[in-house]
Amino acid sequence: MLAAPTRHETMARLTALGAVAVVRLNDADAALRAAGAVHAGGVSAIEVTLTTPGALEVIRALSAHAGMLVGAGSVLDGEAAREAIAAGARYLVSPVLLPQLVPLAHEAEVAVMLGAFSPTEILAAHRAGADAVKVFPSDALGPSFIRGVLGPMPFLKLIPTGGVTPENAGDWLRAGAAAVGLGGALVDAGRVAAGDWDALTERARAVVASIAAARGGAR
């Protein structure tokens, strides 16, 4: 049996992939199918939000899939963090600034991304030891905000979530984001309800192409 990756290895792979699929659905089976569909399209970092019914079982099941990098989202307290880690999550994502999650996750060699909105919150998350900062909700900010924050603080690893689409994912990376998070723009509830898994796979391929184009050219 292979040893679990360290949190640094987890973050290196996540940033190399460049995109995280945020799976927030109302059905555990649909979440499993959606995760498989976007993975088939090349988006292999899967964040299962704890608001999804049966989220821990979904995380446990996906963690057994070779090639997937599975984490837990919407982590709001220590108990939820512990349960997600026990289920196999290799990274934790919170929408808000909760420094207490950092030592808990790092003790288990699990990466943690704390949520922040303002430059002050972003720096506080970094200084608390977050492996990356989830800039959320980034649809209210735009890629220029990422570029602006990184000007005086280039050491930050920022992962904007909200407002990121397959079409504009590359814009955020060109602005300096370490990776991006995509929720409904990728894991579309309408397509999931219709069972159109091929559409999700195609959307994932568009994300991968956008990221490759951004990283292949100069900023």
Just list the catalytic residues.
Answer: 47, 134
Residues in a beta bridge with 174: none
3-state secondary structure of 142: coil
Helix pair angle (197-216, 28-40), 10° resolution? 40
Long-range contacts of 140-146 (CB under 8 A, 24+ apart): 141/117, 143/168, 143/171, 143/172, 143/174, 143/175, 143/177, 144/175, 146/172, 146/175, 146/176, 146/177
Please tell me the distance from the alpha carbon of residue 182 to that of residue 46, in angstroms, as a whole number.
Answer: 10
Q: Which residue carries 């929720």 as its tokens?
A: 183
Q: Which helix (H) or strand (E) holds 182?
A: strand 180-182
